[in-house]
Structure 1
């Protein structure tokens, strides 16, 4: 069963074919520099350090970061998003890599056939999901972990609404996005993401730039491996 846009927050519906055409300019050039104070190059560095030849991109976006950082050759790359427009847009940008495409709701159990992944990116996604960070991040990570190799790496970034210094443009833009339902991050804090990572991974790191936290985590804790079989799970009801 494929997830529908109505299953998740209005934020997903903001990314249409038309808006995606302007996304790289508005978000990666304008907003990252003038509002969030996190240069896009910082996120690119995170990708270059942690992306592998067996990678899952959670939240397809425009495919920009994959275009810039995917390893040479024929890596395995998969895209996961509830929004069909995002999947179509990003998959065309990296068509040479023949990406696997999964239209799934990250807040529900997943059905991702194939081998487990060595790396997963959750980039600029968490702040768009409904609910508080503790709840939504816990759900996202717990839904993804069954498809991650034991020593695999999860990395990404999210825009925080609490416990960080925000410029006036950031305050105003974040207020607008939260009111429209594009963001849901008023109370998202650094402590919340650190708690989620430390409870599931042996090693993790966070780095704050402006109001954006960049993170990576590696090596699943024993509690995440209990009852785990060699076979990749299939979501119930699918």
Structure 2
């Protein structure tokens, strides 16, 4: 039983690392065009203004970005203070470096870490934490990778907010183009969301948080959840 569990964990770890492989520096230069201006509005039916509004209304003065992408939203959002402190958390050094360079005008800290494991950050040290377009890239079902939400909740202060977005496969309207692209990305190991449903996302938001809001735009779930005060 233990050997089977170890093998499953090793396979999941490999899938997680392989899922980060496409996000090398050359690919990141085109990420915003292909994702924020391409697949998000045209395939997932969720224009970038929805993500920006989420950031503008949730981001705090001390913020942890878990799964940093290219820093597109951090570079465009409205922080509540002129000199925010931003901690960038990712398993991929290339995305950490790319985003830190993009945010050179801000105070940033880079942390190499796995969102599925306890984060090497001080507990309750942040006003906000974001997991944007991250969960659909992590292997497993939402019931398994929901631990990333709990890990984020631990580093946010009482009454702080964890927010983000993820592409869902069921319980939401998926366009024909979206379904085609989703299958292709799952086949390539870039996405791992073929079992991700709106109901499971809602269930994962119940446990570590005092309250939450979850809205759907296209096939994207956008959420914000507050830790107990």
> Which of 215, 218, 228 lines up with 2:223 in the alignment?
215
Name 2:192's counterpart in structure 1.
184
> Which of 93, 99, 109 lines up with 2:118 in the alignment?
109
Per the alignment, in what secondary structure is the counterpart of residue 99 of structure 1?
A: strand
> Which of 158, 179, 187 lines up with 1:171 in the alignment?
179
Structure 1 window deviating more from structure 2 (18-27 vs 111-120): it is 111-120
Task: List per-residue Cα deviations over 1:33-82 (Å, max 9, x = no partner).
Answer: 11000001001000000001110001111111001115252111110000
Name 1:60's counterpart in structure 2.
68
Asked whether 1:145 is paired with 2:141, we answer no
> Which of 73, 76, 90 lines up with 1:81 in the alignment?
90
Name 1:97's counterpart in structure 2.
106
> Cα distance 1:197–1:151, how it changes in 2: closer, same or farther (>3 A)?
same
1:120-139 equivalences under 5 Å are: 120-137=129-146, 139=147
Native 8 Å contact 2:156 2:227 kept in 1: no
Give the whole-Å Cα distance in 2 for the aligned partners of 1:54 and 1:177: 33
**Deviation of residue 144 (structure 1)?**
2.3
Asked whether 1:35 is paired with 2:56, we answer no
**Deviation of residue 220 (structure 1)?**
2.5
Unaligned runs of 5+ in 1: 222-238
CA-based RMSD: 1.6
Name 2:28's counterpart in structure 1.
20
TM-score normalised by structure 1 residue count = 0.86
Unaligned runs of 5+ in 2: 1-12
Give the whole-Å Cα distance in 2 for the aligned partners of 1:35 and 1:195: 25
Aligned length: 216
TM-score normalised by structure 2 residue count = 0.90
Per the alignment, in what secondary structure is the counterpart of residue 156 of structure 1?
A: strand
**Deviation of residue 24 (structure 1)?**
0.3
**Deviation of residue 109 (structure 1)?**
2.3
Native 8 Å contact 2:66 2:88 kept in 1: yes
Per the alignment, in what secondary structure is the counterpart of residue 82 of structure 2?
A: coil
